[in-house]
Amino acid sequence: MQFHSPLTLRRRQFLQAGSTFAFAALSRPLLADDRLTTHDGFTTRLRAAKARVRMVGEEYPATEVWAYNGIEPGPVLRVRQGTPIRVTVMNELDETTTVHWHGMRLPNAMDGVPGLTQQPIKPGERFDYAFTPPDAGTFWYHSHDDSLIQLGRGLAGALIVEEAEPPVVDRELLWTIQDWRLTEDAQIAPGFNNRMEAAMDGRIGNTVTINGRVPDSVRVRAGERIRLRLLNAAIARIMSLRFEGHRPMIVALDGQPCEPHEPADGRILLGPAMRADVMLDMQGDPGRSYRVVDDFYGQFAYALVRFAYDKAPAVRAHPSDAPMRLPANPVPRPDLKTTSVREVRLQGGMMGGMGLRSGRMGMGGTAVWAINGQSMTGDGDPHMPPLFEIARGRSCILDIHNETAWWHPMHLHGHSFRVLDRDGRPEPYDIWGDTVLVRPRERVRVAFVADNPGDWMFHCHVMEHQVGGLMTVIRVT
Ligand code: C2O
Ligand code: CU
Ligand code: CU
């Protein structure tokens, strides 16, 4: 058997198995392109339970998912920067759960990591999460218990923190993008922890949805300016989005504002868990339609969605000249002269050349991956010593070496970091985030001020990688 074949083989297999279905699904009309819910209050409830939702065409049966409040993705929580929020999570699943507020710089006890920051919420029980979002931006929430299954079955939703003075746009859209492996009768395919996939790029699906639907087109007006919030809520699929006929400007990544800039080679690269806020001046021709193409996996490129222009003339003659820049968030800047530098080596996986003999097991999982020779598996192991400790207030550089043949969106809880450089080349923009996409064999350095005390997860956000050992804890004392 040739060694390079499993990946292509596997893809071909699933494309064959799912292709009729996936293509039929992709041509369905879009019913709801931006299901934005506004919450007036700052108190709300999330009920985690099984639900049946229409994800693909009406001629298919409804898909059984695990969802918040019976909708997929869960309700969009819109809150104000600096205003306290309280969310009561009610567990109506048959197993324990928690909710993690991804990207939030919040108190450790509210971080939603079972065993580490709280007791898991038992079936029939509830837990109150209360915190005050310090930063405006595009964030999200998701289960952090039985993560691969619970996130993979749909327990996720967007959390939007509004700026006190948002930039002027004509319209705002939110695309929560999810990737599913569906069977011919539109059910989530079983077999979540396939060992072969877990050692490669994870479970890539055959059906991509926007806000819980296989989309066809989004209606737009010529000349309008749209703020588009993109959230990759897939468990494994990386996306590289190209907007035909348009020039998207990135104004924030992972909720943190940046200097407005066009993405490198016109593609917005989003690993699982990553967000981008994009300004789109709709400069296409009235009556025409333009595709948004995801070509990350090369020959498996597909049209995610289309912008369908109304026939009416442009709403303005020239693109809006309103400033795009978002107001800054109060994230502390690391002092690069006094940082403590910590080496983080990502190891294992297929072709990783590592036996993982030293890997330690966490709760119910097999180690396929490791960080500095240690594998924390499952949903974490509270008894494993932290990767390192850092004194509160210190600046810290994570010097991440990807020694594997695979991509890893590495995510740090409770902090936002600045991406310094890749393979020694400085990032061209002042980029911040909570998740950094590390290429195969790449070395990336990120810096942050460890100002938030507690035990914080640092893990890959490809779910099989996380539960398979690409996870650790950083302790801020
Ligand atoms: Cu979005 Cu530890 O997760
Ligand atoms: Cu997180
Ligand atoms: Cu990974």
Distance of alpha carbon 416 from alpha carbon 433, whole angstroms: 5
Confidence at residue 365, expressed as pLDDT on a 0 to 100 scale:
54
Interior/surface letters 241-276, b for 16+ CB within 10 angstroms, e for the rest? bbbeebebbbbbbbbbbbebeebeeebbbbbbbbbb
Q: How far is the CA of 64 from the centre of ligand 2 (A)?
A: 26
Q: How far is the CA of 453 from the centre of ligand 3 (A)?
A: 26
Ligand (nearest to CA of 147) = 1
Q: How far is the CA of 29 from the centre of ligand 1 (A)?
A: 33
As its CATH architecture, domain 11-162 has Sandwich (2.60)
Other C-beta atoms closer than 10 Å to the C-beta of 448 total 26
In tens, the pLDDT along 250-277 reads 999 999 999 999 999 999 999 999 999 9
Q: How far is the CA of 461 from the centre of ligand 3 (A)?
A: 6
Fold agreement (171-309, 340-476): yes
- Go through the chain and tell me how many residues it has: 477
Report which DSSP code applies to 201.
T
Ligand (nearest to CA of 104) = 2
Cα 339 from chain centroid? 28
Q: Spell out which residues line ligand 1, taking CB within 6 angstroms.
A: 100, 102, 142, 144, 273, 411, 413, 457, 459, 461
Listed residues: CB within 5 A of ion ligand 2: 102, 413
Cα radius of gyration (the chain): 21
As its CATH architecture, domain 171-309 has Sandwich (2.60)
The CATH classification of domain 340-476, taken from the options 3.30.450.40, 2.40.110.10, 3.40.640.10, 2.60.40.420 = 2.60.40.420
142 CA closest ligand 1 atom index: 1
273 CA closest ligand 1 atom index: 1
Cα 376 from chain centroid? 21
Distance of alpha carbon 474 from alpha carbon 477, whole angstroms: 10
Q: Vertex 180, ends 175 and 182: CA angle to 5°?
A: 135
Q: Vertex 4, ends 3 and 6: CA angle to 5°?
A: 85
Distance of alpha carbon 210 from alpha carbon 205, whole angstroms: 14
Is residue 258 within 8 A of residue 432, CB to CB? The reply is yes
Q: What backbone phi and psi angles, to 5 degrees, belong to 152? A: -65, -25
Ligand (nearest to CA of 232) = 1
Is residue 375 within 8 A of residue 360, CB to CB? The reply is yes
435 CA closest ligand 1 atom index: 1
111 Cβ contact list (under 8 Å, min separation 6): 100, 101, 117, 118, 413, 414, 454, 456, 457
Ligand 1, atom 1: closest residue by C-alpha? 102
Distance of alpha carbon 182 from alpha carbon 415, whole angstroms: 35
Task: Report domain extents, the chain.
Answer: 11-162, 171-309, 340-476
Ligand (nearest to CA of 274) = 1
Pick from 305, 160, 169: which is nearest to 241 by CA? Answer: 305
Token pair 């912008």 in the structure block, residue = 307
Is residue 452 within 8 A of residue 330, CB to CB? The reply is no
Cα 212 from chain centroid? 15
459 CA closest ligand 1 atom index: 2
List 100's β-bridge partners, or say none. 142
List 48's β-bridge partners, or say none. 68, 91
Q: How far is the CA of 9 from the centre of ligand 1 (A)?
A: 30
Largest Cα span, the chain: 66
SS3 at position 245: coil
Q: How far is the first Cα of the chain from the last one, in angstroms, to the nearest whole number? A: 51
Burial bucket for residue 148 (CB in 10 Å: 0-12, 13-18, 19+):
buried
Tens of pLDDT along the chain (477 residues)?
A: 222 222 232 333 333 333 333 333 333 333 333 333 444 458 999 999 999 999 998 889 999 999 999 999 999 999 999 999 999 999 999 999 999 999 999 999 999 999 999 999 999 999 999 999 999 999 999 999 999 999 999 999 999 999 999 999 999 999 999 999 999 999 999 999 888 899 999 999 999 999 999 998 999 999 999 999 999 999 999 999 999 999 999 999 999 999 999 999 999 999 999 999 999 999 999 999 999 999 999 999 999 999 999 999 999 989 999 999 999 999 999 999 999 999 999 999 987 654 444 444 443 457 899 999 999 999 988 888 999 999 999 999 999 999 999 999 999 999 999 999 999 999 999 999 999 999 999 999 999 999 999 999 999 999 999 999 999 999 999
Is residue 25 within 8 A of residue 184, CB to CB? The reply is no
In tens, the pLDDT along 161-215 reads 999 999 999 999 999 999 999 999 999 999 998 888 999 999 999 999 999 999 9
Other C-beta atoms closer than 10 Å to the C-beta of 134 total 15
Q: How far is the CA of 102 from the centre of ligand 2 (A)?
A: 4
457 CA closest ligand 1 atom index: 2
Is residue 76 within 8 A of residue 116, CB to CB? The reply is no
Distance of alpha carbon 441 from alpha carbon 406, whole angstroms: 8
Ligand 1, atom 3: closest residue by C-alpha? 102
For the chain, the helix, strand and coil percentages under 3-state DSSP, each to the nearest 5: 10, 40, 50
Distance of alpha carbon 377 from alpha carbon 473, whole angstroms: 12
Q: How far is the CA of 414 from the centre of ligand 1 (A)?
A: 10
